[in-house]
Amino acid sequence: MARILDSTTVVPLPRLDANQATVLAQQLEAAARDEAGHPRILPDTVQDALDDVKVDRAALQDTLGSEPQTGEVRTVDKMEDNAAAALILILLGWSRVRGQFGLGDVAVEVGAHLGVEDGLGFINMRPRDEYGVVDTKLKTITRENLEGKLDDLGLGPLLAHLRQVHEQYGKVLGMVHTVPVEERAAVRTRLDALTDSLKHYVTAVLGSVKRKQPATKELADTLLRPLVMWEDDPVKKAAKEEVPAGSGA
């Protein structure tokens, strides 16, 4: 029996509900921008696949709920900007005494995991893109067990504040939804479309790697880092009337 080889069967994705698929798509879109928030130059096949992800992600978000009020987003966006920038800038400050003071070396280690040297360009991104970048940084802190090191640097309270603000940011951006029963079929259809687009995008990125051109592998690693670093439940899901989880495998 002939094997069927296409992106839907070859590329495994984590189990994603509608909210999680939206977050992952946003993180992948954010990874396709450089440190200053400008779009990276991508091969045509990769760019086309990314455009499909954006379209299907927006369609799913439209089904999940309308955009939040601009004023509310602006207020919480500023809070997120300030909290994330404070964390990055304090780590940069500590890093100035690397090699002279032990905590300076700790700051450099933590900063390397969080992309401190990339700067603060992400706070100028569109709110949903910025949300994805900060979400990735917070997940890195958890995955790499960096919280203790941040406590040593006196950043425990700031980290707690950033997490609280980030949760609020997700809510005002519409990242947590309660979906009426009659709308769930439409959500499932849009979720399936986004899942297929995500798989196709991963296939396109991997297919762009050229064995004798290391730069293409570096770009692919950057573009797919959010997927590689993905952990379950990056966003607190609604407690009631939650969209049923769907398998991306």
Which among 132, 130, 95 has a CA at the least distance from the CA of 111? 95
Average pLDDT of 110-120? 87
Residues 85, 56 share a domain: no
In a domain, 137, yes or no: yes
In a domain, 233, yes or no: no
Report pLDDT digits (tens) over 126-136.
Answer: 787 788 889 88
Residues 127, 199 share a domain: no
Taking 60 as the threshold, does the pLDDT of residue 13 lie above it? yes
Q: pLDDT band for position 69 (50/70/90)?
A: low
Taking 50 as the threshold, does the pLDDT of residue 111 lie above it? yes
In a domain, 241, yes or no: no
Average pLDDT of 160-188? 77
In a domain, 213, yes or no: yes
Lowest mean pLDDT among 5-14, 61-70, 234-243: 234-243
Q: pLDDT band for position 35 (50/70/90)?
A: confident
Residues 190, 122 share a domain: no
- Are the beta carbons of 178 and 239 closer than 8 angstroms? no
Number of domains in the chain: 2
Report pLDDT digits (tens) over 184-197.
Answer: 678 889 999 999 99
Q: What is the pLDDT of residue 235?
A: 39
Taking 80 as the threshold, does the pLDDT of residue 3 lie above it? no
In a domain, 150, yes or no: yes
**Long-range contacts of the stretch 81-86 (C-beta < 8 A, 24+):** 81/123, 81/130, 83/158, 83/161, 83/162, 83/165, 83/166, 84/120, 84/122, 84/123, 84/134, 84/137, 84/162, 85/120, 85/123, 86/158
Residues 165, 93 share a domain: yes
Q: What is the pLDDT of residue 242?
A: 39
Residues 184, 62 share a domain: yes
In a domain, 9, yes or no: no
Q: What is the pLDDT of residue 186?
A: 80
In a domain, 245, yes or no: no
| Cα 190 from chain centroid (whole Å) | 20
Residues 159, 127 share a domain: yes
Residues 160, 104 share a domain: yes
Top pLDDT among 145 and 184 is at: 145
Question: How many percent of the chain have pLDDT more than 70?
Answer: 82
In a domain, 192, yes or no: yes
Q: Which residue has the tokens 């379209």?
A: 55
pLDDT mean across residues, the chain: 83
| End-of-domain residue from the set 172, 203, 236 | 172
Lowest mean pLDDT among 127-141, 144-158, 200-214, 226-240: 226-240
Task: Give me the domain span that covers residue 111.
Answer: 70-172
Q: What is the pLDDT of residue 214?
A: 94
Average pLDDT of 205-222? 94
Which distant-in-sequence residues (6+ apart) come within 8 Å of 192 by Cβ? 246
Residues 74, 60 share a domain: no
